[in-house]
Amino acid sequence: MSAPEAGGRPERRRRDLALLSLGVFAGIAAALLPVLSVIAPGAWTVGALAGAALVLGCGLAVRFSRAPALVATVVELVVGVVFLTAVFGRTTALLGVIPTPATLASVPTLFAGASEEIRLGVAPVVPALGLAFVLVAAVTGLAVVLDHVVLTARMPLLAGVGLVAVSLIPTIAIPADVDVPAVLALAATVLFLLRMDVRSRTRGAPAARRSGSRAWGASATAIGIAAVSVMVTLVAVPLLPQPALRFASGTGAGFGTTINPNLELGNDLRQPRDIDVLTFTTTAPSAPYLRAVTLSQFDGAVWQPDSGDTVGVPGGDAPVFDPVQVDGDIAVADWTTSVKVGELDSPWLPVPYPASTVTGLEGDWLGMPANRTIVSRSGSSRNQDYEVRALVPRPTLEQIRSRPVGGAELGDAVRALPADVPAIIGDTARSVTAGAQSPYDALIALQSWFRSSQFRYSLDAPVEAGFDGAGIDAVARFLQERTGYCVHFASAFAVMARTLDMPSRIVVGYLPGTRSGSVEQTGQADYTVTSSQLHAWPEVYFRGVGWVPFEPTNSLGVPTNFASGNTGGQSGSATTPEQQDAATPGATRTDAPQLGDQDGPGSTSAGSGASSAQNPTGLLLTVGGVVLLVLLAAPGSVRAWRRRSRTALIRAGDAVAAWAEIRAQAVDLGIRAPDAESPRAFASRLIDEHGVDADDITVLRDALEHAVYAEDGGRSGDGSALTEAVARVRARLWAGAPIGRRTLAVVLPRSLALRGEPSPVEVPERVG
């Protein structure tokens, strides 16, 4: 080796380390770009990037000094703690940088403040001290972890998984258009890390120089895969259907004020803060309910939001949907509602039923004819200003009583029930509706029963054993406890209607809001809707009329009550929760929702069935769990992929791949395989110390020597013999390892940290 070459290696090593550290920093910055759609950029952004740069720079300096890799990680942790103390805890710290017990005691307070900001904030949240601390600490800690993964463990692919997970959190929280610059930046940084890692591993290795074409081929393949992946992300993903959110038994989660269709709304109802989400004016005689999502499919545990064919929302005054098909003798009212959305960030648009024309929207919106809802694949309702024309069927009491429920146009989903419906549900439904002369009378009997003194609206309904939800068991428990909130009332009503063979579904939307003024010239009333007026109610389908809503929630909203056409009242006068006149016989009109329970936390503003100031705990735990599982599974997955790749080469007669696999298996099981040890010495040690069959390891060793020194070189070995020998050696090593070591070999294979190719083989001594 020449002097210049020897002197150049340390310089190249330092340059490679510096480029890897730079790649880690760039990856963190790219992963944070989508986060800025949820958390408003500001001082925390500078602090987070400064913390990441500081720990990465200190770690790089330690590595330049040739200190052990573990020392670099320890130094980074210490520097990170000192940095956070200097920024957020200097008033209680020793010399302003050394944390004291008082400094540590302030951390829970900061975390509590961050939780409160996320829980009550509206995206993009402007972070105060608590949230800023959590963000800066998280990014600084991420820099330490990624530095260790990339520069110490040499697993850049695992680091890429972590970066992608961070960038996906905002996308899960708030649907939005694909952030093209962020996607490209993240893809470029991950590819850069992979390329630099491969380059630092193979630089200077003789085998690598002989396999230059193979390396360039691998690079070209990687670039091709990356290009295809980016194209799929940018082109194909936006064309996919909007992911459906579920009414599940998990905690609702989201950032800011949104419509999150999750029927376990107890935690949301208990939020103390109320936010104005929209205002509207209407020509209707009373304020309409505003619908967002319908749910028809119920498997006993989960209500699923409806999906199906969609149509584009045209510009101008062109109708989105055809008018509701009603019988000719039923009157139809024509009402217009103008909506101005403020702090509501949702892909579902609140509209009165049954919407026909929607004008004034910005962005790309789709209509779902099956349920007359409006949804965006990637846009948001925030700051939308639109007008909805609704052609509303107005049957009389006699007309609705004469109509049967159901129709040939309906599917099976609106009648389906699980096989194991608790007996109390069907028995109670039949008992309450006994004597009803028509389906409508039966439903009114159910509505009146739920709204009677036998039930009580309460935010303090039991939450143990899954009662704080909408599954079949929760419905049965609710009928026993007879206390709950809108989710319990709506789900119980819908399920009981199905036990009576009536098609039903649940709607999520908003109560009519509070009257705030009027426009005398046009006769329109002004209403303000708050986040606490998010609500759930059931609907039942009547032939010749369409979907008719009911209001079973005790003490809330406006109960359905149709006027008789034979009592002097106007035919088709107010009848439904969407439109009910105070003059309607039997009606009790309230502009503001009435609460039956004022004792629960935040009940002063939680007058409806849900608050949209979402609790992020469930989302954060779910995402964190998924990320943790991915991180735990990633090393084993990478190792399995390498084994499969080598197996294909071994079957083709590649002796170098066969030897590399044996060496990797040994390292995974805790057997030393130093780079400086020759294949002959390693083979002898496997025979003497680990019981490997001499014939098997000799076959592999001789094939390696032949591959290196024979003129035909490369893949001249017997693929079948190599494959069988590798399998037997691996099995013997595996059998001789303790159970703990075998578990680590699967979960955290140490061979992923191996560098370079096998050491040069010894030249066999010639005799004579």
Residues 6+ positions from 359 with CB-CB distance below 8 Å: 315, 316, 317, 386, 387
Element (DSSP H or E) covering residue 17: helix 3-32
Looking at the predicted structure, is the pLDDT value of residue 580 above 70? no
Contacts of the segment 241-245: beta carbons below 8 A, 24+ positions apart:
241/307, 241/377, 242/175, 242/347, 242/375, 242/376, 242/377, 244/304, 244/305, 244/307, 245/305
Smallest CA-to-CA distance from 456 within 554, 348, 377 is with 554
Q: What is the DSSP letter of 325?
A: -
Most confident among 55-69, 726-740, 752-766 (mean pLDDT):
726-740
Query: Which pTM value belongs to this model?
Result: 0.49
Beta bridge pairs of residue 504: 540
Helices 617-651/156-173 angle, 10° precision: 150
pLDDT for residue 93:
82
Give 488-537 pLDDT, tens digit per residue: 899 999 999 999 999 999 998 888 888 876 555 555 778 898 888 888 89
Among 68-77, 235-244, 585-594, where is mean pLDDT lowest? 585-594
Q: What are phi and psi of 517, to 5 degrees?
A: 160, -175
- The order of strands in the sheet holding 311-312 is 311-312, 366-368, 373-375, 348-349
728, 616 contact by CB (below 8 A): no
Q: What is the DSSP letter of 528?
A: E
Query: CA-CA distances (angstroms) from residue 87 to 44, 83, 98?
Result: 10, 6, 11
Looking at the predicted structure, is the pLDDT value of residue 206 above 70? no
Give 32-45 pLDDT, tens digit per residue: 887 777 787 888 88
Residue 630 pLDDT class (50, 70, 90 cuts): low
pLDDT for residue 467:
56
pLDDT for residue 708:
75
pLDDT for residue 610:
40
Residue 740 pLDDT class (50, 70, 90 cuts): confident
pLDDT for residue 32:
80
Give 334-352 pLDDT, tens digit per residue: 999 999 998 788 888 999 9
pLDDT for residue 177:
53
pLDDT for residue 650:
87
Looking at the predicted structure, is the pLDDT value of residue 763 above 70? no
CB atoms within 10 A of CB 228: 10
Q: Rounded mean pLDDT of 110-131? A: 73
SS3 content of the chain, % helix, strand, coil (to 5): 45, 15, 40
3-state secondary structure (DSSP) of residue 331 = strand
Output the CA torsion 348→352→354→355 (10° steps): -70
Looking at the predicted structure, is the pLDDT value of residue 147 above 70? yes
Q: Tokens 């989302």 appear where?
A: 619
Residue 211 pLDDT class (50, 70, 90 cuts): very low
Q: Rounded mean pLDDT of 746-767? A: 58
Structure tokens at 364: 């790309």
294, 355 contact by CB (below 8 A): no
| Residues 247, 293: Cα–Cα separation, whole Å | 11
Instruction: Please name the residue ranges forming H helices in 404-463.
Output: 423-432, 439-450
pLDDT for residue 298:
87
CA triple 304-305-310, angle to 5 deg = 140
> Distance between the two ends of the chain, CA-based, in angstroms?
31
The amino acid occupying position 448 is S
| Residues 133, 47: Cα–Cα separation, whole Å | 9
pLDDT for residue 629:
66
- The answer to whether the Cα torsion of 19, 24, 28, 31 is positive or negative is positive
What is the overall mean pLDDT for the chain? 75
Give 702-731 pLDDT, tens digit per residue: 888 888 776 555 445 678 888 988 999 988
